[in-house]
Structure 1
Amino acid sequence: MGDTKGVWGSDPSDSYDQLADRFRQTFHRIREGSVQRDLNRKLLYEEIGWLKEIGFGALRIPQEKGGFGATLPEFFNLLIELAEADSNLPQAMRIHFGFTERILGLPEGEQRDRWLKRLAEGALIGNAQTETGESKVGSYATKLSKSEGHLRLNGVKYYSTGTIYADWIVVGATDEEDEFVTAIVPVTAKGIDIVDDWAGFGQTLTASGTTTFADTPVDKDEVLKRESYPKYGTAFVQMVHLATLAGIARAAARDVSAAVKERRRTFSHAAANTSAEDPQVLQVVGRVHSQAYAAGAIVLKAAQALQRVYDIEATADAEYADKIKDEADIEVAQAQTVVARLTLEAVSSIFDALGASATARAKGLDRYWRNARTITSHNPLIYKERIVGDYTVNGTRPPIGWQTGIANN
């Protein structure tokens, strides 16, 4: 009897298993400690180290540059598997992978080669983009300025997801010409203070806290203009969230199946003597698995759309490239509205198949809903649905990026 792929569908490529097998033992190790880490707020230094040791951060780096050359469908399927082990990790590495795509899209040259080498050797990238307080939409209070012939960075960032684990930080700032730029600084640079003060109820180990820059020196060769973002960059970082949600749904489906199989207690008015024989309980388990299956299938379908954009990035037909890019953005927006709801319903309904004992904190089942709800709050679903409707009805192009802040009126 040959091997099967289980209930999650076919792999994104014939060579996927060979690629994934390199990482699955580490995913299993990560999964083993996930509940205790969540209960004790034990940050992910060790687990990040494991992923660096096996080169996980170099998934998308071409093989000839020292990476694995994973396609986008392969990459996102691996993120689903990692999120199934611990959903904090793909989110903590989200900007790392987004930055990698940006580097892949740079013109051939010293800067691209320098960064591909760093990434292939295991450098991990954190982020410092979002600002709170009086920050206005469409602007950064963080400034990159020149002082005595040297570039200096000053500002305060929040939601610095993954930065506490990183080697380098990509910082969104405004330069002296009032243009958006990205400054890249090592975490060891002077004037940087990173604090784990994320107070959300979910994704508590992503270290999405505050980063402060006080006259932090910036190398002039480590500044990128806004134009260097890939066409699919906005959709890509959203897809990391969707893959994370699909992984959460799978983990919840697996846990509820195991719990029902082992459960000995039942109710006087149950439909069978054990939960494992109860058709109503089995229906709940089946629904959760079906929702997790659908979430994963949708993510991989949307990943194919991003791969199409990546493959035509260098095309001379700009109008066609823009059309493919817009369609991919809409596909990802459509996926977000459905995957979010599938996952939230799945992780909530697992408790319908279990008794009150399932709510014990020590079991950690609540983390699935907390984590999924936190991720789905990043980019409001109502706006995504409107964007899809406006495109399909009026042909309005989707926004290429967005910021949060106080309205400019």
Structure 2
Amino acid sequence: MGHTKGVWGSSPSDSYERLADRFRHTFHRIREGSVQRELNRKLLYEEIGWLKDIGFGAVRIPKEKGGFGATLPEFFNLLIELAEADSNLPQALRIHFGFVERILGLPDGGQRDRWLKRLADGALIGNAQTETGESIVGSYATTLSTREERLKLTGVKYYSTGTIYADWIVVGATNEEDEIVTAIVPATAEGVDIADDWAGFGQTLTGSGTTTFSDTPVDKDEVLSRESYPKYGTAFVQMVHLATLAGIARAAARDVSAAVAERRRTFSHASAARSAEDPQVLQVVGRVHSQAYAAGAIVLKAAEALQRVCDLEETAGDTEYEDKVKDEADVEVSQAQTVVTGLTLEAVSSIFDALGASATARSKGMDRYWRNARTIASHNPLIYKERIVGDYTVNGTRPSIGWQTGIANK
């Protein structure tokens, strides 16, 4: 009997299965411990180490530079599979992969080559961008300044997702010319303090805590200008969230199917003697699977739009045309966000309709699907995305490149 690809649709490329097989054994190992990690809040040091050992952080690095050369559709399909195993991991690696795209877009030269080698050798990148308190939208209170003939970084960052697992940290800062720059420092550098104080109800293992920089030295060759940010960078980091949501939906669909198949208890007013034969229960399971299928299909379709922009980066062409391709990709991702979020949240809530009150037992960890999906869905607020899509399609208003939080500078 031949081997099929299951119910999730065809692979994004003819070579995808060969690529994915390199990682699936590790994904399976990760999935096996996901409930216990969630219940005991066991951080992901071991699992991150497994991913480093198989070179997952270099999946987008070209083969000739020591990576796997995955396309963006292939990459996001892999993230869906990883999120199905444990949704904390794609989010913890989100800025790492965003940084990889930034390095891939740099012109040929020493900085690009240096970082491609580090990344191919397994270096992982953490995130220190967001600030709270009195920081103003469009600027950073964190400063990069020259003191004692050295660049020094000073400031406090929150929601530093993945930094607790990282080798290097990318830090958004304001330099002495009042320009936004990115400083890159070793996680073990002098003056770096990483706190595990993320207190959200979901995605609790992402290491999204507070990072403090106190006169941290910065090598002048490890500073990037804002112009180095890739044209598709904003959409890319949002797509990591969407792939994570699609993976959560798949995991919930998988678990509800297995639980219904095993379930022996029923209700006096049920439609069958066993849940596995109850048409109403089967309808719920079928709907959850359909929602997970649709979420994944939408993510992969949006990934094709990002690939078109990525391909434009490699050629000099019509600027107006390139801007239009980029804007359309941003809008596609915004459209995807509004729908994928709804599909996933409904799917992870509906599983309890098929399983009954016993599924709410904390030991089963079913609640993590809703908590994690709701936490991810709260990022880069959904309510603005429909307006952005409408404003573009009606008025031609271009989506903004990048976003920041803070107090409005009125």
**Paired letter, 2:142:** T
Q: What's the counterpart of residue 404 of structure 1? A: 405
Partner residue, 2:349 = 348
Partner of 1:76 in structure 2? 76
Which aligned segments of 4 or more residues in structure 1 are displaced greater than 6 angstroms? Answer: none
Map residues 234-383 of structure 1 onto 2, 5 A cutoff. Answer: 234-313=234-313, 314-383=315-384
AA partner of residue 18 (structure 2): Q
The residue aligned with 1:9 is: 9
Match of 2:117 in 1: 117
- Whole-angstrom distance in 1 between the partners of 2:9 and 2:317: 36
Q: What secondary structure does 2:157 align onto? A: strand
- 1:315: how far off? 2.5
Please state whether the residue corresponding to 2:266 is helix, strand or coil.
coil
Alignment of 1:14-163 (within 5 A): 14-163=14-163
- State how far apart, in whole Å, the 2-side matches of 1:111 and 1:401 are: 23
Q: CA deviation at 1:50?
A: 0.0
Report % sequence identity. Answer: 87
Q: What TM-score comes out, normalization by structure 2 length?
A: 0.99
Question: What 5-or-longer segments of structure 2 have no aligned partner?
Answer: none
Shift of 1:407: 1.3
Aligned partners of 1:315, 1:229: CA distance in 2, in Å?
17
Q: Which residue of 2 aligns with 1:395?
A: 396
SS of the equivalent of 1:183 reads strand
Task: Report the Cα distance in structure 1 between the residues aligned to 2:361 and 2:135, rounded to whole angstroms.
Answer: 41
Q: Post-superposition shift, 1:200?
A: 0.3
Paired AA for residue 103 in structure 2:
I
5 Å-filtered alignment, 1:175-186, equals 175-186=175-186
Aligned-residue offset at 1:316: 2.4
Partner deviation per Cα, 1:318-339 (whole Å, 9 max, x = no partner): 1111100000000000000000
**Aligned-residue offset at 1:347:** 0.1
Tell me the TM-score normalized by structure 1. 1.00
Once the two structures are TM-superposed, the CA of residue 149 in structure 1 deviates from its matched residue by 1.2
Instruction: Report if aligned partners of 1:84, 1:248 keep a CA contact under 8 Å in 2.
Output: yes
Aligned partner letter, 1:120 = A
Alpha-carbon distance between aligned partners in 2 of 1:125 and 1:315, rounded to the nearest angstrom: 30
Partner of 1:167: 167
- Would you say the 8 A contact 1:127–1:163 is kept in 2? yes
Alpha-carbon distance in 1 for matches of 2:382, 2:30: 30
For residues 188 and 277 of structure 1, what CA distance do their matches in structure 2 show?
A: 57
Question: Helix, strand or coil for the counterpart of 2:21?
Answer: helix
Q: Distance in 2 between matches of 1:209 and 1:401?
A: 22
1:233 is aligned to 2:219: no
SS of 2:136's equivalent in the other structure is coil
- Once the two structures are superposed, residues 73-105 of structure 1 have per-residue CA deviations (whole angstroms, 9 ceiling, x without a partner) of 000000000000000000000000000000000
Asked whether the 8 Å contact 1:66–1:120 carries over to 2, the reply is yes
Tell me the alpha carbon deviations over residues 184-218 of structure 1, each in whole angstroms, 9 at most, x when there is no partner. 00011100000010000000000100000000000
1:62 and 1:68 in contact (8 A); partners too: yes
Cα deviation 1:277-325 (Å, max 9, x = unaligned): 0000000000000000000000000000000000011332111111000
What CA deviation, in whole Å up to 9, does each residue of 1:22-69 have, x standing for no partner? Answer: 000000000000000001110000000000000000000000000000
TM-superposition CA deviations, 1:337-392 (whole Å, max 9, x none): 00000000000000000121100000000000000000000111110000000000
Tell me the amino acid that sits aligned with residue 181 of structure 1.
Answer: V
Does 2:210 match 1:204?
A: no
For 1:385, what is the secondary structure of its paired residue?
Answer: helix
CA distance in 1: counterparts of 2:372 and 2:316, whole angstroms: 39
Q: Is the 8 A contact 1:315 1:321 kept in 2?
A: no
8 Å CA contact retained: 1:181, 1:224: yes
Secondary structure of the 2:193 match is strand
Q: Secondary structure at the match of 2:152?
A: strand
Instruction: Classify the secondary structure of the residue corresponding to 2:407.
Output: coil
Shift of 1:125: 0.1
| SS of aligned partner of 2:145 | strand
Q: Distance in 1 between matches of 2:262 and 2:135?
A: 52
For residues 43 and 162 of structure 2, the distance between their equivalents in structure 1, rounded to whole angstroms, comes to: 10
